[in-house]
Protein backbone atom coordinates (compact mmCIF):
# COMPACT_ATOMS: atom_id res chain seq x y z
CA UNK A 1 0.00 0.00 0.00
CA UNK A 2 1.25 3.46 -0.88
CA UNK A 3 -0.70 5.11 1.93
CA UNK A 4 -1.27 8.80 1.28
CA UNK A 5 0.38 10.29 -1.78
CA UNK A 6 0.52 13.89 -2.95
CA UNK A 7 1.14 15.33 -6.39
CA UNK A 8 3.20 17.37 -7.14
CA UNK A 9 6.03 17.45 -4.59
CA UNK A 10 7.15 20.95 -5.54
CA UNK A 11 5.64 23.79 -7.54
CA UNK A 12 6.44 27.41 -8.25
CA UNK A 13 3.61 29.67 -9.40
CA UNK A 14 3.31 33.27 -10.39
CA UNK A 15 0.75 35.46 -8.69
CA UNK A 16 -2.64 34.94 -10.28
CA UNK A 17 -1.95 31.48 -11.69
CA UNK A 18 -4.10 28.54 -10.77
CA UNK A 19 -3.23 25.00 -9.86
CA UNK A 20 -4.62 21.85 -8.31
CA UNK A 21 -2.94 19.66 -5.73
CA UNK A 22 -3.93 16.02 -5.74
CA UNK A 23 -4.12 13.79 -2.70
CA UNK A 24 -4.76 10.08 -3.04
CA UNK A 25 -5.15 7.37 -0.42
CA UNK A 26 -5.48 3.64 -0.81
CA UNK A 27 -6.61 2.79 2.71
CA UNK A 28 -10.34 3.16 2.07
CA UNK A 29 -10.51 6.03 4.56
CA UNK A 30 -13.67 8.03 4.86
CA UNK A 31 -12.17 11.28 6.06
CA UNK A 32 -9.61 13.41 4.27
CA UNK A 33 -7.99 16.72 5.18
CA UNK A 34 -5.88 19.46 3.71
CA UNK A 35 -3.49 21.42 5.94
CA UNK A 36 -0.96 24.13 5.39
CA UNK A 37 2.20 24.45 7.41
CA UNK A 38 3.94 27.76 7.74
CA UNK A 39 7.11 28.48 9.72
CA UNK A 40 6.32 28.91 13.39
CA UNK A 41 2.60 28.27 12.83
CA UNK A 42 2.16 24.54 13.06
CA UNK A 43 -0.44 22.91 10.83
CA UNK A 44 -3.70 24.66 10.07
CA UNK A 45 -6.72 22.97 8.56
CA UNK A 46 -7.85 24.37 5.21
CA UNK A 47 -10.71 22.07 4.20
CA UNK A 48 -11.82 18.58 5.00
CA UNK A 49 -14.16 15.89 3.74
CA UNK A 50 -16.07 13.26 5.67
CA UNK A 51 -17.01 11.25 2.61
CA UNK A 52 -17.25 11.12 -1.14
CA UNK A 53 -19.10 14.14 -2.48
CA UNK A 54 -18.87 16.15 0.76
CA UNK A 55 -16.50 18.93 1.77
CA UNK A 56 -16.36 21.46 4.58
CA UNK A 57 -14.32 24.50 5.56
CA UNK A 58 -11.58 24.35 8.12
CA UNK A 59 -9.73 27.09 9.91
CA UNK A 60 -8.17 28.86 6.91
CA UNK A 61 -10.32 28.14 3.80
CA UNK A 62 -10.11 31.49 2.00
CA UNK A 63 -8.50 31.33 -1.41
CA UNK A 64 -8.90 27.56 -1.72
CA UNK A 65 -11.48 25.19 -3.11
CA UNK A 66 -11.69 21.42 -2.80
CA UNK A 67 -13.47 18.50 -4.36
CA UNK A 68 -13.98 14.87 -3.38
CA UNK A 69 -15.49 13.22 -6.40
CA UNK A 70 -13.96 9.84 -5.59
CA UNK A 71 -13.46 8.41 -2.13
CA UNK A 72 -9.75 7.90 -2.63
CA UNK A 73 -8.99 11.39 -3.98
CA UNK A 74 -9.15 14.85 -2.43
CA UNK A 75 -8.22 17.81 -4.63
CA UNK A 76 -7.14 21.22 -3.40
CA UNK A 77 -7.44 24.08 -5.86
CA UNK A 78 -5.97 27.54 -5.90
CA UNK A 79 -7.91 29.65 -8.42
CA UNK A 80 -5.70 32.73 -8.26
CA UNK A 81 -2.52 32.13 -6.32
CA UNK A 82 -1.17 34.81 -3.99
CA UNK A 83 2.24 35.06 -2.29
CA UNK A 84 0.49 34.51 1.06
CA UNK A 85 -0.27 30.99 -0.12
CA UNK A 86 3.40 30.09 -0.20
CA UNK A 87 3.50 27.17 2.18
CA UNK A 88 3.93 23.45 2.60
CA UNK A 89 0.65 21.64 2.05
CA UNK A 90 -0.13 18.35 3.73
CA UNK A 91 -2.93 15.99 3.02
CA UNK A 92 -4.14 13.47 5.58
CA UNK A 93 -6.76 10.78 5.79
CA UNK A 94 -8.40 8.74 8.52
CA UNK A 95 -11.11 6.25 9.20
CA UNK A 96 -14.33 7.79 10.41
CA UNK A 97 -14.19 9.23 13.89
CA UNK A 98 -15.11 5.90 15.39
CA UNK A 99 -12.26 4.11 13.68
CA UNK A 100 -12.48 0.43 12.94
CA UNK A 101 -14.90 -1.25 15.27
CA UNK A 102 -13.07 -2.66 18.25
CA UNK A 103 -9.67 -1.48 17.06
CA UNK A 104 -8.73 1.30 19.41
CA UNK A 105 -5.45 1.86 17.62
CA UNK A 106 -7.40 3.09 14.60
CA UNK A 107 -9.28 5.70 16.58
CA UNK A 108 -8.93 9.02 14.87
CA UNK A 109 -5.37 8.51 13.68
CA UNK A 110 -4.65 10.71 10.73
CA UNK A 111 -2.20 9.41 8.12
CA UNK A 112 -0.23 12.12 6.39
CA UNK A 113 1.18 12.52 2.93
CA UNK A 114 4.74 13.69 2.28
CA UNK A 115 3.74 17.28 1.56
CA UNK A 116 3.81 19.67 -1.39
CA UNK A 117 6.06 22.69 -1.22
CA UNK A 118 4.41 25.58 -3.05
CA UNK A 119 6.03 28.91 -3.77
CA UNK A 120 4.03 31.79 -5.19
CA UNK A 121 6.13 34.60 -6.64
Contact residues for another protein, defined by CB under 8 A: 4, 31, 33, 35, 40-45, 48, 50, 56, 58-59, 90, 92, 94, 96-97, 104-105, 107-115
Going by their DSSP bridges, the two strands 116-120 and 4-7 should be labelled as unpaired
The nearer residue to another protein, 33 or 75, going by C-beta atoms, is 33
| Residue 88: CB atoms within 10 Å | 15
Nearest of 78, 80, 59 to residue 67 by alpha carbon: 78
- What is the smallest separation between the CB atom of 51 and another protein, expressed in angstroms? 10
CB of 81 or CB of 92, closer to another protein: 92
CB 17 to another protein: min, Å:
27
Find out whether 74 and 45 touch, Cβ atoms under 8 Å.
no
Amino acid sequence: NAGVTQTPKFRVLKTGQSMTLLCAQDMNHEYMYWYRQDPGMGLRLIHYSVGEGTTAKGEVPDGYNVSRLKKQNFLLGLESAAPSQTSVYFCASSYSSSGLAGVISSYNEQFFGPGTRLTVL
